[in-house]
Structure 1
Amino acid sequence: MESTHEKNAIVFKALCDEKRLAILELLRGGEKCACVLIEQMDIGQSSLSYHMKILCESGIVESRQEGKWTHYKLSESGSKYAAELLIQLTTPNAAKTLDES
């Protein structure tokens, strides 16, 4: 079982790479097929898979399979968690933790 710090580190790992940030920006426009992301990012399939695995593990991105392609979209709950986590960790004297909410 992973600790709260390990869970939170996974979220920040997802946000600490410029390619993953670019992918998140593309997904802000709605769900995208992996084939579209490969084309728009100008990266290979294995590179996209690597980045999407990290984004999905963080909970910020959700995936669904349709035929041979995977479709990705931003997760409303995962994105909300990441935003609240950043606020909590950077707010002096914050009284409430995410685990308590």
Structure 2
Amino acid sequence: MAITAYDASQTVVDEAETAACGSHLACLLIDRQEAERMATVLKAIADPTRLQILKLIQRSPDGEACVCDLTVCLGLRQPTVSHHLKLMTDAGLLNRERRGTWSYFSINHQGLSRVRLILEPTGP
């Protein structure tokens, strides 16, 4: 491991470059908790199967789908589909309604609006 001498002039240049580079940035960060919530929502749809589920539910004639219907369409087992649905429901993208032994899922439009706001921000 080589030891290098401290070069104060290099530090000054780096600080000057950093200041010049970031001087126009107002550093308007979103709240850390809000960023974590947004990341959870984005992770919930960042999966091919979950995107397929979202589209299947959106396109269904009644605006909802039963787990049993989704398993047939996707060719997956019920526990796998239920896992994906739980992640999406917990993220606020789907509504769940229990009817007897089956659960029916519909789009949570307010949750979907939050995704649109993440992807198409209108301001700070």
Q: What is the TM-score of this pair, normalised by structure 2? A: 0.68
Give the whole-Å Cα distance in 1 for the aligned partners of 2:103 and 2:54.
16
Q: Do residues 17 (structure 1) and 47 (structure 2) align?
A: yes
Aligned residues: 90
Identity %: 28
Counterparts of 1:41-80 in structure 2, within 5 Å, are: 41-80=74-113
Superposition misfits of 4+ residues, deviation over 3 angstroms: none
Q: Which runs of 5+ in 1 are unaligned?
A: 89-93, 97-101
Per-residue deviation at 1:81?
A: 1.1
Bigger-Rg structure (1/2): 2
Give the whole-Å Cα distance in 1 for the aligned partners of 2:65 and 2:83.
16
Give the whole-Å Cα distance in 2 for the aligned partners of 1:7 and 1:32.
26
Q: What is the TM-score of this pair, normalised by structure 1? A: 0.83
Residues 2-23 of structure 1 deviation map (CA, whole Å, 9 limit, x = unaligned) = 8111111111101110000000
SS in 2 for 1:62: strand
SS in 2 for 1:28: helix
Amino acid at match of 2:56: L
Amino acid at match of 2:65: K
Per-residue deviation at 1:95?
A: 3.0
Q: Which runs of 5+ in 2 are unaligned?
A: 1-31
